[in-house]
Chain A
Amino acid sequence: KAGVTQTPRYLIKTRGQQVTLSCSPISGHRSVSWYQQTPGQGLQFLFEYFSETQRNKGNFPGRFSGRQFSNSRSEMNVSTLELGDSALYLCASSPGGDRLYEQYFGPGTRLTVT
Chain B
Amino acid sequence: GEDVEQSLFLSVREGDSSVINCTYTDSSSTYLYWYKQEPGAGLQLLTYIFSNMDMKQDQRLTVLLNKKDKHLSLRIADTQTGDSAIYFCAESLSGTYKYIFGTGTRLKVLA
CB-contacts of A38-83 with B (<8 A): 42-45, 48, 50, 55-56, 58
- With A42-B104, A101-B92 known to touch, is A56 a contact of B97 (CB < 8 Å)? yes
CB-contacts of B14-50 with A (<8 A): 30-31, 33, 35, 40-45, 48, 50
Which DSSP category, helix, strand, loop or mixed, fits chain B's interface?
strand
Chain B residues with CB under 8 Å of A92's CB are: 43
Q: How far is the CA of A42 from the CA of B100 in the complex (A)?
A: 10
Q: How far is the CA of A106 from the CA of B10 in the complex (A)?
A: 26
Interface residue total, chain B, C-beta cutoff 8 A: 24
Q: How far is the CA of A43 from the CA of B102 in the complex (A)?
A: 8
Chain B residues with CB under 8 Å of A103's CB are: 33, 45, 99
Q: How far is the CA of A103 from the CA of B100 in the complex (A)?
A: 13
Which DSSP category, helix, strand, loop or mixed, fits chain A's interface?
strand
Interface residue total, chain A, C-beta cutoff 8 A: 24
25 contacts between A and B (CB under 8 A): A31-B97, A42-B101, A42-B102, A42-B104, A43-B90, A45-B98, A45-B101, A48-B98, A50-B97, A56-B96, A56-B98, A58-B98, A90-B42, A90-B43, A92-B43, A100-B97, A101-B30, A101-B31, A101-B48, A102-B48, A103-B33, A105-B42, A105-B44, A106-B42, A108-B42
Residues of B within 8 A of A (CB): 30-31, 33, 35, 40-45, 48, 50, 88, 90, 92, 96-104
